[in-house]
Structure 1
Amino acid sequence: MLKSRWQWVIAIAVLILIAVGSVWLFRQQPTSEPNPSLIGVTSNLHAKMGIPKNVKETNPDDEYLLQSPDRPYVTSYNNSKLIPNWSSWQLNKDWLGNVPRRNDFRPDPALPKGWYQVRSSDYNNSGYDRGHMTPAADRDNTPQNISATFLMTNIVPQAPDNNQGPWAQLENYSRGLVEQGKELYIIAGGYGNTRSIGKGNVKIVVPDRVWKVIVVMDKTGLSASDVTANTRIIAIDMPNQQGIKDMDWRKYRVSVDLIEERTGYNFLTNVPDAAQVQLEEKVDKVVERVN
């Protein structure tokens, strides 16, 4: 009888240990919820070259990482400015298609509870375009992917002459490179504070300038460790203003080092150090025209 009783005690103890272990394992599982603590350690393919690291002290709410399996890019969102700090995405032929653009601009429900969700109407009569960071035309392979680019957390107030001029030229040029078989890793954002738009307490910051860093890989399937000092890097820094619609995007080419200095971000953090140092001091000089 005593032996049987101990057997029951041991069995119950084992069941309790299994239950506790299951709860612990469940809590360790990754979630698709955005989490600022993932900055620098994410394995998302859209940040294969590394998550930009802000070297300045900032409010965590102003470096809020948005990523999930159904979001075809990664975004760092700024809750104070109500715009993205940057968006990062992979671009190859698999992402390109012919799905029609629907212009379904809408608030992003992935933002934390209590945060203001920017609406398309907040841009009405502002004089600024709803400027994509990750372009719709870079994600027109499926209705879901192109629609995801119209979340307002991917949008900044962009001067029409910038958005429809050299910025659009560079987007077209990038897709031209992809049609040649290249694979691109792109990060785009803005900095500075020209003014704000919105009504009442809604203050959406208008960046003074917009920038982009593009890593051009010669073929698909390569990683950050394959980047060398000879890899092509395109970095641009454009004024977010009227009067530049007919300017060539190449006029605005700069070094990655300069963008880092002006934004406070450290880019290409997954690239081998030696290659990173050499690449970031270069200014792209390629002159051929794809578009």
Structure 2
Amino acid sequence: MSKVLYNSLGVSAVGIASYFWGKSGSNVPAGDTNVKTPTPPTGVAPVGSGTGAVGGSFDPALIRPQDFYKYGFPGPVHDLTTRGEFVSCYDRATRNPYWVVEHITQELIRRGEGVDRSKSVFKEDETIPLKFRNRLRDFFRSGYDRGHNAPAADAKYIQLAMDETFYLTNISPQVGEGFNRDYWAHLEDFGRRLTKSYDDVRIMTGPLYLPKKCADGKYRVEYEVIGSPPNIAVPTHFFKLIVGENKRDQGQKISYAAFVLPNDKIENLTPLTSFQVPLEALEKSSGLELLGKVPYYNKKDLCQEVKCEIIVREFLPQTQKVLALPGK
């Protein structure tokens, strides 16, 4: 970079790094004693393991990039956590879940004695190293809701299970009015209603960061980042993959439907099926392998078996219409 350009920017790369992450001096932030040290992958043939010299003067065995591991294996690290009602896989880079998987049944979604959402509070997940953790303060005045991936209403059978849905590793920034408090909540209710049609309902939910066409005709992935410093990615979209099973079915038969919704206001009159996407499209967008062990002849379109629609309960006190959230 030329000196003129450098001065015109008015900030150095070091300055940018200091603004976001503070001054370098230690690999571990003060007070962070919970840093995981992953082990390097095993079973991989070492690079340069051949013998003999090339041209009589160079031995390829001396090339050992894997020796970098002696400084510590860089990752990626997947923080996989099993809770009472769901399993979450956390993305340290975006500070969102990669995905969250739930298992719900009619019995599980019944409210247990004394279970009350008002007793639950959002909390940081201290199993995540401090430097990769999403913090409560990062959502303060961000303009976004702390949106559940596994909803609290899916874990009403015991207070602990509901409380666990409030860990920030299960949370993503979501548009509030028109999405998290409306259409998204009705989609969550649709998943619970499926327990009337299927013995077991398994739901995978997660954020997506999808490209859009810009003014110059090129496609780019653009998303907001919130927090102080800005470090939590605001997803452009969210997905739900819903799988229904019945015990009477033999041979691993399942019914499924995949939905991708924009993280934006959605009119409640929008048909849910307008967000249904082929499983392959979701795989390509998310980078996930989905339902790969189920033969194609054992997979059925869930929306061909049940009516895929949201239900908006409407109340009309006096002249004002209020849309009630279904068990949110």
TM-score (norm 1): 0.68
Distance 1:204 1:110 in 2: 18
How many residues matched? 224
**Aligned partner of residue 251 in structure 1, secondary structure:** helix
Equivalent AA in structure 2 for residue 205 of structure 1: A
**Residues 20-72 of structure 1, C-alpha deviations (whole Å, 9 max, x = no match):** xxxxxxxxxxxxxx9999xxxxxxxxxxxxxxxxxxxx9523x33222xx542
The match for 1:29 is none
Unaligned runs of 5+ residues in structure 2 are 1-35, 40-73, 210-221, 312-328
Deviation at 1:248, TM superposition (A): 3.6
Matches within 5 A, 1:19-98: 59-61=75-77, 63-67=78-82, 70-98=83-111
Is the Cα–Cα contact under 8 Å of residues 35 and 64 in structure 1 kept in the other structure?
no
Equivalent AA in structure 2 for residue 198 of structure 1: G
The match for 2:241 is 213
Is the Cα–Cα contact under 8 Å of residues 254 and 283 in structure 1 kept in the other structure?
no
The match for 2:126 is 109
Equivalent AA in structure 1 for residue 101 of structure 2: S
| Pair 183,64 (structure 1): closer, same or farther in 2 beyond 3 Å | same
The match for 2:303 is 284
Deviation at 1:187, TM superposition (A): 0.4
Among 196, 201, 209, the residue aligned to 1:184: 201
Deviation at 1:126, TM superposition (A): 1.2
Is the Cα–Cα contact under 8 Å of residues 174 and 263 in structure 2 kept in the other structure?
yes
Among 192, 195, 205, the residue aligned to 1:175: 192
Equivalent AA in structure 2 for residue 83 of structure 1: N
Which is greater in Rg? Answer: 2
**Residues 211-237 of structure 1, C-alpha deviations (whole Å, 9 max, x = no match):** 0101111349x8xx8433xx3212100
RMSD: 2.9
Is the Cα–Cα contact under 8 Å of residues 167 and 249 in structure 1 kept in the other structure?
no
**Residues 97-147 of structure 1, C-alpha deviations (whole Å, 9 max, x = no match):** 322113410001222x44443233321211111111111000011010000
**Residues 230-265 of structure 1, C-alpha deviations (whole Å, 9 max, x = no match):** x32121000111354553433211111110111111
Deviation at 1:283, TM superposition (A): 8.0
Among 244, 252, 263, the residue aligned to 1:227: 252
Matched, 1:258 2:281: yes
Greater RCO between the two (CA within 8 Å, min separation 6)? 1
Distance 2:105 2:243 in 1: 12
Matches within 5 A, 1:90-169: 90-98=103-111, 99-102=115-118, 103-111=120-128, 113-160=129-176, 161-169=178-186
Distance 2:179 2:310 in 1: 20
The match for 1:241 is 264
Is the Cα–Cα contact under 8 Å of residues 99 and 207 in structure 2 kept in the other structure?
yes
Is the Cα–Cα contact under 8 Å of residues 198 and 244 in structure 2 kept in the other structure?
no
| Pair 108,168 (structure 1): closer, same or farther in 2 beyond 3 Å | same
Distance 2:268 2:175 in 1: 10
Distance 1:178 1:287 in 2: 13
Distance 1:138 1:283 in 2: 20
Equivalent AA in structure 2 for residue 272 of structure 1: V
The structure richer in helix per residue is: 1
Equivalent AA in structure 2 for residue 241 of structure 1: D
The match for 2:68 is none
Distance 1:90 1:83 in 2: 20
Distance 1:197 1:177 in 2: 35
The match for 2:217 is none
**Aligned partner of residue 281 in structure 2, secondary structure:** helix
Matches within 5 A, 1:4-19: none
- Aligned-residue sequence identity (percent) comes to 25
Distance 2:205 2:184 in 1: 11
| Pair 243,236 (structure 1): closer, same or farther in 2 beyond 3 Å | closer
